[in-house]
């Protein structure tokens, strides 16, 4: 069934407001929750620079950057997934399943092992990740290209192959690193916000902003893609330019998210699916996906921190536990 949709601007504004409040509430919950539990008033005092200096440091230097990184990572992954699904007209397209995240992880790890990131790692690692992500996009595209078009079935298969290749390269790189470095990388790779800092938040805001701007710019073109590429062309859309720019925008978002939080699957797959039940035009799909992705990732992070507290499990494990069965369901329904 097609959902009732949010036809009026007022309904959309109300829905955006609800999502924004949910994000704010989850950020506050994430900041309050931890090995040192904090009350809402303590959190508020710390945010305003008042109260106990230790509490202020915990909130402002550790937990707030982590929560904000969660917002940006979830938003970036969901927006990337929403754009790839529209571009490829494939409800199962997702940066993780298409090998983009795997390529980005390879790029980050390779740059790190080669020691080319230096002191500006937070800002340079997304670039290394982007190089890996774009390489993955090209390889997946070549694998799926058949008879002048991208074959939908082959695309996922090609993504799986690139993911396997990326895993092999990552294992190779990890095996030549020191045990300490390897442990850190493994935890990062499985998806974690534990390395959050204000630098990583600023970096992701910068790259995420660039990626989202590009995708918003091409949102009308992606609306036309719902009628097929040929019809989109007759509606005045520059089809090839749209494809290149949307791949680039989605890769920037996915790469920046992977560089700072590792591989977190299924956010980009599931969130846009739900969002499309209430909004259909691509601009709204992007905005709603970003906010809903933030909600999903913050929730997954809270679960990852709470489930075996004080130990923390990877967010990738939480999203996969929910995402894999949902993916199976969607695949049976749509392919």
Closest CA to 189 of 285, 260, 83: 260
**Binding-site member from 54, 57, 227, 328 for another protein (CB under 8 A):** 227
110 vs 237, which CB is nearer to another protein?
Answer: 237
Task: Please report how close the Cβ of residue 228 comes to another protein at its closest, in angstroms.
Answer: 6
DSSP string, 182-247: HHHHHHHHT---TT--HHHHHHHHHHHHHHHHHHHHTHHHHHHHTT-HHHHHHTT--HHHHHHHHH
Q: What part of residues 87-126 is at the interface with another protein (CB under 8 A)?
A: 89-91
Q: Which residues pair with 145 in a beta bridge?
A: 150
Look at the block and give the residue holding tokens 């080669």. 114
193 vs 269, which CB is nearer to another protein?
Answer: 269
Closest CA to 125 of 309, 311, 296, 258: 258
Cα of 310 vs its chain's centroid, Å: 26
**Measured distance CA(56)–CA(16) in Å, rounded:** 30
Per DSSP, the three-state class of 322 is: helix
**Binding-site member from 180, 236, 332, 333 for another protein (CB under 8 A):** 236
| Site for another protein contains 180 (CB under 8 A) | no
**Contact (Cβ atoms closer than 8 angstroms) between residue 288 and residue 275:** yes
Q: What part of residues 238-267 is at the interface with another protein (CB under 8 A)?
A: 238
Task: Please report how close the Cβ of residue 206 comes to another protein at its closest, in angstroms.
Answer: 23
Q: What part of residues 47-86 is at the interface with another protein (CB under 8 A)?
A: 85-86
| Site for another protein contains 142 (CB under 8 A) | no
| Site for another protein contains 280 (CB under 8 A) | yes
183 vs 334, which CB is nearer to another protein?
Answer: 334
Site for another protein (CB under 8 A): how many residues? 29
**Measured distance CA(114)–CA(200) in Å, rounded:** 20
| Site for another protein contains 228 (CB under 8 A) | yes
Signed CA dihedral, 302, 307, 309, 311: sign only: negative
Task: Please report how close the Cβ of residue 276 comes to another protein at its closest, in angstroms.
Answer: 6
DSSP string, 56-97: HHIIIIIIHHHHHHHHHHHHHHHHHHHHHHHHHT-TT--TTT
| Site for another protein contains 12 (CB under 8 A) | no
Task: Please report how close the Cβ of residue 57 comes to another protein at its closest, in angstroms.
Answer: 43
| Site for another protein contains 296 (CB under 8 A) | no
Task: Retrieve residue 36's tokens.
Answer: 């040192």
1 vs 142, which CB is nearer to another protein?
Answer: 1
| Site for another protein contains 153 (CB under 8 A) | no
**Binding-site member from 36, 235, 321, 328 for another protein (CB under 8 A):** 235
146 vs 181, which CB is nearer to another protein?
Answer: 146
Q: What are phi and psi of 39, to 5 degrees?
A: -80, 160
| Site for another protein contains 277 (CB under 8 A) | yes
Q: What part of residues 194-223 is at the interface with another protein (CB under 8 A)?
A: 220, 223
70 vs 91, which CB is nearer to another protein?
Answer: 91
| Site for another protein contains 234 (CB under 8 A) | yes
Task: Retrieve residue 264's tokens.
Answer: 């977190």
| Site for another protein contains 230 (CB under 8 A) | yes
Please, is 261 exposed, middle or buried when counting C-beta atoms within 10 Å of its C-beta (0-12, 13-18, 19+)?
Answer: buried
| Site for another protein contains 154 (CB under 8 A) | no
**Residue 5 Ramachandran class (φ > 0 left, ψ -120 to 50 alpha, else beta):** left
153 vs 228, which CB is nearer to another protein?
Answer: 228
Within 13 Å and on the Cβ side, how many CA atoms surround 57? Answer: 3
List of residues contacting another protein (CB under 8 A): 1-3, 5, 85-86, 89-91, 220, 223-224, 226-228, 230-231, 233-238, 276-277, 280-281, 283, 334
């Amino acid at each position: 069934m097609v959902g009732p949709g949010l036809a009026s601007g007022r309904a959309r504004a109300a829905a955006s407001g609800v999502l924004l409040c949910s994000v704010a509430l989850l950020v506050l919950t994430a900041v309050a929750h931890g090995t040192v539990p904090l009350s809402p008033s303590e959190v508020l005092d710390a945010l305003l620079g008042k109260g106990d200096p230790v509490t202020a440091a915990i909130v402002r230097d550790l937990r707030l950057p982590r929560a904000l990184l969660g917002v940006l990572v979830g938003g970036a992954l969901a927006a990337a997934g929403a754009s790839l699904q529209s571009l490829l007209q494939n409800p199962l397209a997702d940066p993780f399943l298409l090998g983009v995240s795997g390529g980005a992880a390879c790029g980050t790890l390779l740059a790190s092992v080669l020691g080319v990131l230096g002191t500006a790692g937070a800002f340079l690692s997304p670039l290394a990740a982007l190089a890996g992500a774009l390489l993955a996009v090209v390889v997946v595209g070549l694998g799926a290209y058949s008879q002048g078009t991208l074959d939908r079935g082959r695309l996922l298969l090609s993504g799986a192959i690139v993911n396997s290749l990326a895993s092999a390269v990552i294992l190779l790189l990890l095996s030549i690193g020191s045990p300490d470095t390897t442990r850190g990388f493994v935890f990062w790779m499985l998806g974690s916000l534990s390395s959050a800092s204000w630098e990583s938040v600023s970096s992701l805001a910068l790259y995420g902003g660039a990626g989202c701007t590009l995708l918003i710019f091409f949102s009308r073109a992606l609306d036309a893609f719902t009628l097929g590429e040929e019809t989109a062309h007759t509606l005045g859309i520059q089809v090839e330019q749209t494809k290149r720019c949307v791949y680039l925008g989605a890769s920037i978002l996915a790469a920046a998210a992977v560089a700072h939080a590792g591989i977190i699957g299924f956010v980009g797959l599931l969130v846009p699916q739900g969002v499309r039940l209430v909004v259909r035009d691509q601009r709204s799909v992007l905005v709603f996906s970003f906010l809903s992705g933030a909600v999903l990732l913050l929730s997954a992070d809270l679960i990852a921190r709470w489930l075996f507290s004080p130990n923390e499990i990877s967010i990738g494990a939480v999203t996969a536990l929910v995402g894999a069965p949902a993916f199976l369901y969607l695949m049976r329904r749509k392919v």
